[in-house]
Amino acid sequence: MSNRQPPVLEIDNLRVEYPLANGGLFTAVENASLIIQPGEIHALVGESGAGKTTIGNAVMGLLEKPGRIASGSIHIGGKLLDPTSGSADGVVLGRDVGAVFQDPMTSLNPLFTVESQLTETLRTHLKMDRAASRVRALELMKAVGIPEPERRLKAYPHQLSGGQRQRVVIAAALSCDPTLVVADEPTTALDVSVQAQILKLLRDLADNRRIGILLVTHNMGVVAQIADRVTIMHRGKVVESGPTAEVLRHPKAEYAKALIGAVPRIDMRLDRFPVVGEEAKGRAADAREAIRAKAFRADATIDGSEILSVENLCVDYVTSGLIPGSKGHRFRAVDNVSFKVRSGEVFGLVGESGCGKTTIANVVAGLVKPTSGRVLYQGKPVAGEGGIRRVGPLRQAIQMIFQDPYSSLNSRIRIGSILAEPILFYRLAPSRAEAESDVAQLIEAVGLDADSAGRYAHAFSGGQRQRLSIARALGARPRLIVCDEPTSSLDVSVQAQILNLLKDLRDATGLTLLLISHDLAVVRQMCDRIAVMKSGKLVEEAAAEALFQSPQHPYTQELLSLVPTLDRIRGETEVA
Amino acid sequence: MNIKLAVTLSVAAGALMSASAEAKTLRWSSPTDVTTLDPYAHTESFTTSMLHHVFDPLVRRGRTLELEPALAVSWKNVKPDTWRFELRRDVKFHNGNPFTADDVVASFARLLDPGARARGNIATVRKAEKVDDFTVDIVTDGPYPLLLNDLAGVYILDKEWMEANGALKPGNIATGVTTAASTTAVGTGPFKVESYKPDAGTNFVVNPDWWDKPQHNLTRIEFKPVKSDATRVAALLSGELDLIAPAPLQDLGRIGSASGFKVIEEPSLRLIMLSLNFRPELKAMPGQKNPLLDPKVRQAMWHAIDMETIKKRVMRDKSRNTGTLVAPPVPGYAKENDAILAYDTNRAKALLAEAGYPNGFKVKLNCPNDRYINDEQTCVAIAAMWTRAGIQTELQTESRATYFPRQDRGEFDVSMVGWATLPPMDGFSVLSSLLAAQKDGHGGSNSSTYTNPKIEELTRKSASELDETKRRGMLVEALKVAHDDVAYIPLHQQPVAWAVRDGVDVPQFPDEYVRLWFATIK
Amino acid sequence: MNTLASPNLIMRIGAPISVMLAALLALVIVGCALLAGWLAPYDPTDLSTFELINAEIPPAFTADGDSRFLLGTDNQGRDLLSAMMYGARVSIAIGGGAVLLAASIGVFLGLIAGYFGGRIDALIMRIGDVILSFPTILLALLVSGIARALFPQAGTAEWAPLILICAIAIHEWVQYARTVRAATMVETAKDYVKAVKVIGLPGRRIMLRHILPNVMGPVLVIATINLAAAVLTEATLSFLGVGMPPTYPSLGTLIRIGNEFVFSGIWWIALFPALTLVLLVLAVNVVGDWLRDRFNPKLRVKR
Amino acid sequence: MFKVILSRIGQAALVMLVVSAVSFVMFRYVGDPVASMSRENAPIEEKQALRRSLGLDQSFVVQYGGFLKRTLSGDLGISYRNQRPVTELIAERLPATMELVIVATFLSLALGIPLGVLCALRPSGAAARLVQAVSLIGISTPTFVTGIVLILVFAVTLGWLPSFGRGQVVEIGWWSTGFLTWSGLKSLILPGITLALYQLTLIMRLVRSEMIDVLSTDYIRFAKARGLPMRYIHFRLALRNALMPVITVTGLQIGSLIAFAIVTETVFQWPGMGLLFIQAVSFADIPVMAAYLLFVGLLFVIINTIVDILYAVVDPRLRARSA
């Protein structure tokens, strides 16, 4: 690091406020300070609402109205940012400061070619002519590693993959040789393998071009992999800041400790996640016991016998054309997949997006009809070609919880009614009053107060909603719950709580879980056996420990090697 | 009469001025348009009046609507059913062809073709025969007193032109034949058609070779139909038009008070009346005896209508209230028949009570809303008056397109009828179409099924009576029966109300024809 | 995830004063219309109550006015104020009826199309396309023309509003169906619907209990805007001669009649009803606009 | 692209079939031309003969069959009123209506888009609020009232513009245009504004809401983050995205304009198809009415097809799919 150069970014005691309609003030960021030197990647981490994105926006002068910088200062390359205009003298957004946003799918204008979106920046800031800017755009495309750059330049965003789009976004951010790049969750929307490539690209840019990068993220693994320094934020305040290895290995602040502790580990299996302020156990445990007593009938067994059998499952999707009348494309989402789930176990299904794992979950839950093959539950077919009607206990036995806690509860219906629905529908309670007491029990069993029944979904946080979603699934007294990415929309600390809850419930009631996830660490913490999927096919199936310790299939090996984890911290074990 | 004198004087003045050759263009507008240039392909009086500028008939109506020689110079009855016409010499069509007996024969042959829409206008004519180049015989089905009246509406076309353009036969919707005559008019009349664009305008230029001495000073006529009343008035007031005919009654005050414009008016031949249903039941009271069958009830309904107020408010004092079924200029009119049953609600109520309806009864009144002047307003007023007299009236108004077919089918209890006795302009048409029962070709518009043996007899006798005095006596007698029996309730004569800019002199006629060959402009 | 959501959402509570005023205005007009039977000084639909002799009296506040008739009389001697109150009632009933009918049909078909998809969806949407091939006014003209020819009573005071409602609704339902279909497809893909599907609830119950309440937002917004459009369509139909009978005038019929007097100095017959209509439509639109901006999820900051 | 057109033709056939059926129901019910076609004192026999000669006494099926057969062979019949081929009448009126609709569309786009952008960029500015309020008056006034008020002001009181008609037109082949003469252009102004007013408001409001949506997207934020000039972002980037739905709506609205032209043409005595239709209605001129409906249906289908193709041209995502 050169000492003659001023830091590319210096934030000092920044305070960002949002005036509210009721006359009050919302402080999004308080007393935040950080410094980024050239060639340094500085990670800003925290859970949602921590204020990390607000800092990023403040640096770029893109604070959403009516937010304002109330006090403190931002220096970019030594120049002071004017808090009212959001710009600094001699510092031009787009030329000196580049930006990379989270979702490459929406960051590029769908109506313009890649070339036009790259060259417009060059022509604006560097006053290049058409030919020169085209040459430069081509260089940039090569620099960010896009294959066939000439052809891709003429392409429209929709013709590129997600990773390629994010590379284009980065190319646009780099186009005028900025000294600072603000990257806001640049890999969150990407698959692990693409994420690894993008992270490597960012690291190279910092190392080779001496660009300072402000990396806003929630993913500790990403931080560990590429950041030089890290700042942890919580509710608008900086709780800890320092070199990455030091902060991650030896966090000092309570919150930092809890946050790092909650990150699921891929290197070893823990019994439970360490959680900040563990919930009161008494009532919940009682409720779970009561549920177990009701749910388990005489025929129920937890003997490790086969409960679910997926046989030669194939699912095709026909995408209909946007224009009425045009023929759509046929796409095989699940290709001849077979596996068995044993009673009482947690079976994990992992893979990258689009690998078909969610489709399988939907088939098992009865939401999607298979094209061929079948699914047996305790030897009885529950899904097959042409659709099989599930009746009574068969339908009741398999329930599902979903990824997005915000859409999985109907916002127009009271929680009590939502939870009572399966109970009343399956006639599990003789009277409405009884159903209500069952609902209260369910709510307590997932660790919430029984009076939640009278409220609507919007009164609850994401984690609480996911608990309610679990309670609804439990209400049907199922034997098998399909969990489709149950925690991927949640912050790590909440994720830890929910995963703990699922574990506890499983232990208490002997449920079987089919867990769908893209997160290998989560799967490792939760599952007894795991199947790995790629492009609709099942590539490997093994007991959890065996899979993680000695993966057999090259794809599994690759996946495991790419996951950014806390145990591989930059500077300690260099990832080439 | 004073108005007429003034008009005649100014016409004479205009004739003098027409010697000067400066361009005089009259721009005028009416809500209806010229539907076709083929005089045999329509039965509309407006189009007939427009085409009269281009074509001449054998016999035409003059300045006071008297029948006078046109393309025929004289005529006589050679037999009871045969009329001989001496034709005018040295007349030329617009294309330069001379006018001869061949043109007359070809024209009649064309009009007598079953496909000719206007064939009914000369329903009694059997054929036209050439005697020599300038003499033609017209043969009718038996003695027919109204032949000259009918001939006034038969325009003569050029045979050579028809042959050259394949228009010897008229267009026929049924067979899908159309002819060039629909869009081209070659006549002998005072004006030539310069351009014809339906809904946009029809332009005429003066025919310098007209056989008659022009009484107008126009060199050009631009006719632009404007359907919307308000727009038409606006166009006059903004100086885009010289004449609007008709002018909406409610705007006459405004136009009259605007400087540079004046309103001209005259009662029309068109007489508005109410047709009463004589069937056993009314639509409004199914299953009960039709109260309208009782003459006392019919009188009561007449007494209950305050025509004076309608005249004052709805017709802006421009109409003439009437007690008989024909207008004064029409043969068959008699002053003694023109007695209105005075507005008297008490008398009406008493008559209803006498007839056994002390609490009134229910009736449906149907009216068109786009056919007669302020038709809908008149009907709303009548409905309100009847309701106050105890006759609960349910009013329905609709467009002419659906109204008249329904009226023809006899679907109405009480409905509005307008009658102008055109084209023959004779009281016989009232007898034959409105009063006689529907048989032997009579009663064409008598859908109310009114019948009276005396009228049946008089209708048939007058149809072939060649003695004009006797014939008129019969018409008057029949109309008296109709009046006393209240066969219809006559309401008023519509006004012909036009508006012109100052300097435009246009004579008006009760048949509502616009005859611009009598017009002068400054 | 955007951390700015909460302050912005809080900002959006409460309606601006203009919207409040518009809502109040709409309420006053609708109130006067609904209570016309009690509020109006005369009953303009009772033929025995008005006399031609009173026709065209100017408003009471002008020099030639008559204190009996606050806003003057029309060309038949009807008290204009009363005629307007009753007319507004008819217009609102027709507009409201048309919106209600169109929304009911549209929501029903839209739910079915969006929930089931496939052939039934294609069928409903193609029918909608065909209907959209006819402009509103033309279709309404046809329907009322045909209805009048089929049922001679169609032009009467009892039947004309029903015919008009059908004539307007037959075109407008497509909009609702399209909106509801799109919203239903979005909702059907959401996890809460999947959750009840997993439970095994029948489709009818899922649609009515779970999806319907969640797609009603946009329907309400379209309805307010369409109410105004329907009132205008009725006025235009009246102008073209297939509106309400002259003995039971709507606001549109009054304007049409008054329109004939524009040049004659009898300005009040057209002006007051037109003003009422404009104010009503304006008020409803202002409220509708505000609702639309408020309920449009696109306009709200993402969660 | 070929597939799109093919499916469009299929859809068009369906639409036209429905339209023809509706048109035919009109044949039966909208009115009886015999009364309008007969002279005043025509006896019953004459009217019946006329009815027979028009085939109106035949059964529904026979009439519909004949109608379909004739229509399919391109023969739309002869106007009862004018006794001229209906195709000729429509062709004569088409230019007037199309020019009016073109002017109205042009006005509504030329004014609606900039005003919509203005309202979206400065939603709380005084100008935007004023435009919004005036626009609401625009959509809440019936067309016929607007028309007559404009005539009163600009033709009668000020005397600037003609109150009716097309003015001087120039014939180019079978097309007659008012664009080439001063009086023709002047005549287009008032009816054009009257017809455009509603659509102008609609487009303005649509552009506004689409623009607000687009301005909050990530790619616009990203464009801002690249430091592109605001003018460039608003007018080249965002506007293009915001105009996508405007294309559809404009297409649909052109159909409505043709329909609303009925009222405008009546008020301004504009010799177009709408006036022809209205007069046909009052005469019960069935062939003209039916042909008008078929024609409007056809026009609609053509416009929709053009819109689809245009969409594919403008939106690369669709282009890729249909290529």
Determine, for residues A408 and C6 on separate chains, whether the beta-carbon distance falls below 8 Å: no
Q: Which two tokens stand for residue C155?
A: 């032009």
- Has residue B365 got a pLDDT over 90? yes
CATH number of the CATH domain containing B108: 3.90.76.10
Summarize the confidence of residues D5-22 as an average pLDDT.
Answer: 72
| Domain membership flag for residue C2 | no
Please check whether residues B275 and B166 belong to one and the same domain: no
Determine, for residues C214 and A404 on separate chains, whether the beta-carbon distance falls below 8 Å: no
Please check whether residues A217 and A83 belong to one and the same domain: yes
pLDDT at A112: 86
Please give the model's pTM, rounded to 2 decimal places. Answer: 0.81
Please check whether residues A99 and A223 belong to one and the same domain: yes
Determine, for residues D222 and A98 on separate chains, whether the beta-carbon distance falls below 8 Å: no
| Domain membership flag for residue B459 | yes
| Domain membership flag for residue A88 | yes
Determine, for residues D296 and C138 on separate chains, whether the beta-carbon distance falls below 8 Å: yes
Determine, for residues C241 and B399 on separate chains, whether the beta-carbon distance falls below 8 Å: yes
Closest listed residue to residue A197, CA positions, set A145, A152, A160, A158: A145
Q: Which residues contact B375 (CB under 8 A, 6 or more apart)?
A: B272, B367, B368, B369, B397, B416
pLDDT digits (tens, 9 = 90+) for B171-226: 877 777 788 898 999 999 999 999 998 888 999 999 999 999 999 999 999 999 99
CA D309/CA D315 separation, integer angstroms: 10
Report chain D residues whose CB lies below 8 A from the CB of B182: 82-84
Residue C241 at interface with chain B, using a CB cutoff of 8 Å:
yes
| Domain membership flag for residue C128 | yes
Q: Which residues contact C235 (CB under 8 A, 6 or more apart)?
A: C91, C243, C250, C251, C252, C255, C256, C277, D142
| Domain membership flag for residue A206 | yes
pLDDT digits (tens, 9 = 90+) for C181-217: 888 888 888 888 888 888 888 888 888 888 888 888 7
CA C75/CA B384 separation, integer angstroms: 13
pLDDT at A295: 60
CA A533/CA A514 separation, integer angstroms: 14
B138, B157, B181: which is the final residue of a domain?
B181
CA A539/CA A527 separation, integer angstroms: 17
Determine, for residues C138 and D140 on separate chains, whether the beta-carbon distance falls below 8 Å: no
B152, B181, B210: which is the final residue of a domain?
B181
**In terms of CA atoms, which chain D residue is nearest residue A184?**
D222
Please check whether residues B56 and B157 belong to one and the same domain: yes
| Domain membership flag for residue A160 | yes
Is A456 in contact with A411 (CB distance < 8 Å)? yes
Please check whether residues B274 and B173 belong to one and the same domain: no
pLDDT at B20: 46
Average pLDDT for chain D = 81
Enumerate residues 19 to 78 of chain D having a beta carbon within 8 A of any beta carbon in chain B: 30-47, 53-55, 75, 77-78
Continuous H helices in chain C: 5-11, 17-34, 36-39, 80-116, 118-132, 136-150, 160-188, 191-199, 203-205, 212-239, 251-259, 268-295
CATH number of the CATH domain containing C287: 1.10.3720.10
Please check whether residues A351 and A215 belong to one and the same domain: no
Percentage of residues of chain A with pLDDT beyond 90 = 12
| Domain membership flag for residue A256 | yes
Domain hosting C247: range is 17-302
- Has residue C299 got a pLDDT over 70? no
> Which residues share a beta bridge with B191?
B206
CA D157/CA B193 separation, integer angstroms: 34
| Domain membership flag for residue B194 | no
Structural domain boundaries of chain D?
Answer: 1-80+284-323, 89-272
What CATH code is assigned to D89-272? 1.10.3720.10
Is B417 in contact with D33 (CB distance < 8 Å)? no
Is A375 in contact with A306 (CB distance < 8 Å)? no
Is D186 in contact with D196 (CB distance < 8 Å)? no
Q: Which of B111-125, B188-202, B376-390 has the lowest mean pLDDT?
A: B111-125
Residue linked to tokens 């800003």: A44
Percentage of residues of chain D with pLDDT beyond 90 = 11
pLDDT digits (tens, 9 = 90+) for B310-332: 999 899 899 999 999 999 999 99
Residue C155 at interface with chain B, using a CB cutoff of 8 Å:
yes
Please check whether residues A129 and A87 belong to one and the same domain: yes
Helix (H/G/I), strand (E/B), else coil: D315: coil
Total domain count for chain A? 2
Please check whether residues A171 and A41 belong to one and the same domain: yes
| Domain membership flag for residue A342 | no
pLDDT at A2: 46
CA D277/CA C100 separation, integer angstroms: 31
Residue B370 at interface with chain D, using a CB cutoff of 8 Å:
yes
Is A312 in contact with A282 (CB distance < 8 Å)? no
Please check whether residues B167 and B280 belong to one and the same domain: no
Percentage of residues of chain B with pLDDT beyond 70 = 96
| Domain membership flag for residue C202 | yes
Report chain C residues whose CB lies below 8 A from the CB of A22: 10
CA C81/CA C251 separation, integer angstroms: 11
pLDDT bin (cut points 50, 70, 90) of residue B125 is very high
Determine, for residues D225 and A156 on separate chains, whether the beta-carbon distance falls below 8 Å: no
| Domain membership flag for residue A280 | no
| Domain membership flag for residue B187 | no
Q: Which residue type occupies B448? A: S
Is C303 in contact with D216 (CB distance < 8 Å)? no
pLDDT at B323: 94
Q: What is the CA radius of gyration of chain D?
A: 24
Helix (H/G/I), strand (E/B), else coil: B172: strand
| Domain membership flag for residue B412 | yes
Residue C264 at interface with chain B, using a CB cutoff of 8 Å:
yes
Please check whether residues A97 and A230 belong to one and the same domain: yes
Summarize the confidence of residues A61-80 as an average pLDDT.
Answer: 83
- Alpha-carbon B270 to chain mean position: 6
Chains A and C touch (3+ CB pairs under 8 A): yes
Domain hosting A297: range is 285-301+347-364+389-561
> Which residues share a beta bridge with A233?
A238
Residue D298 at interface with chain C, using a CB cutoff of 8 Å:
no
The size of chain C, in residues, is 303
Is C295 in contact with C221 (CB distance < 8 Å)? yes
Burial of A134 (0-12, 13-18, 19+ CB in 10 A): middle
pLDDT bin (cut points 50, 70, 90) of residue C47 is confident
- Alpha-carbon C176 to chain mean position: 14
Continuous H helices in B56-151: 101-112, 147-151
| Domain membership flag for residue B90 | yes
CATH number of the CATH domain containing B490: 3.10.105.10
Write out the E strands in B249-408: 261-276, 320-321, 362-368, 392-398
User: What sign results for the dihedral spanned by CA atoms D232, D233, D236, D237?
Assistant: positive
pLDDT at C231: 82
How far, in Å, are A369, A401, A418, A481, C18 from residue A476 at the CA level? 22, 12, 12, 10, 50
The CA-based diameter of chain D, rounded to the nearest angstrom, is 85
- Alpha-carbon D157 to chain mean position: 30
Q: Which residues contact D50 (CB under 8 A, 6 or more apart)?
A: D34, D37, D38
pLDDT digits (tens, 9 = 90+) for A95-149: 888 888 888 778 888 888 888 888 888 888 888 888 888 888 888 888 888 888 8
pLDDT at C7: 37
Helix (H/G/I), strand (E/B), else coil: A516: strand
Q: Which of A292-306, B194-208, D138-152, D249-263 has the lowest mean pLDDT?
A: A292-306
- From D38, D78, D282, residue closest to B176, measured CB to CB: D78
Closest listed residue to residue D187, CA positions, set D127, D281, D99, D277: D99
pLDDT at A277: 52
| Domain membership flag for residue A377 | no
Total domain count for chain C? 1
pLDDT at A21: 66
Report chain B residues whose CB lies below 8 A from the CB of C259: 230
Is B366 in contact with B406 (CB distance < 8 Å)? yes
Summarize the confidence of residues A308-332 as an average pLDDT.
Answer: 70
**In terms of CA atoms, which chain A residue is nearest residue C123?**
A324
pLDDT bin (cut points 50, 70, 90) of residue C300 is very low
Q: Chain D: nearest CA to A187, how far in angstroms?
A: 15
> Which residues share a beta bridge with B321?
B492
Report chain C residues whose CB lies below 8 A from the CB of A422: 199
**In terms of CA atoms, which chain B residue is nearest residue C159?**
B396
Domain hosting B42: range is 34-181
Q: How are beta strands A512-517 and A346-350 bridged, if at all?
A: parallel
| Domain membership flag for residue C291 | yes
Q: Which of A203-212, A447-456, B10-19, B134-143 has the lowest mean pLDDT?
A: B10-19
Is B7 in contact with B505 (CB distance < 8 Å)? yes
| Domain membership flag for residue C279 | yes
Closest listed residue to residue A117, CA positions, set A160, A163, A53, A169: A169
Residue linked to tokens 């006078």: B68
User: What sign results for the dihedral spanned by CA atoms C126, C128, C131, C134?
Assistant: negative
Report chain C residues whose CB lies below 8 A from the CB of D137: 278, 282
Q: Which of D119-133, D172-186, D293-307 has the highest mean pLDDT?
A: D172-186
Is A270 in contact with A261 (CB distance < 8 Å)? no
Summarize the confidence of residues C25-37 as an average pLDDT.
Answer: 88
Residue A115 at interface with chain D, using a CB cutoff of 8 Å:
no
CATH number of the CATH domain containing A252: 3.40.50.300
Q: How are beta strands B82-87 and B135-140 bridged, if at all?
A: antiparallel
| Domain membership flag for residue B73 | yes
Q: Which two tokens stand for residue C211?
A: 């999806």
- Is the ipTM above a cut-off of 0.85? no
Determine, for residues B314 and C75 on separate chains, whether the beta-carbon distance falls below 8 Å: yes
What order do you get walking across the sheet with A346-350 strand by strand? A398-401, A480-484, A512-517, A346-350, A529-534, A537-543
pLDDT at A231: 92
Q: Chain D: nearest CA to A534, how far in angstroms?
A: 26
Angle at C143 between CA C141 and CA C148, to 5 degrees: 95
Q: What is the CA radius of gyration of chain C?
A: 23
Q: Chain A: nearest CA to C180, how far in angstroms?
A: 17
| Domain membership flag for residue B79 | yes
pLDDT at D202: 83
Q: Which residue type occupies D206? A: L
pLDDT bin (cut points 50, 70, 90) of residue B434 is very high
| Domain membership flag for residue A315 | no
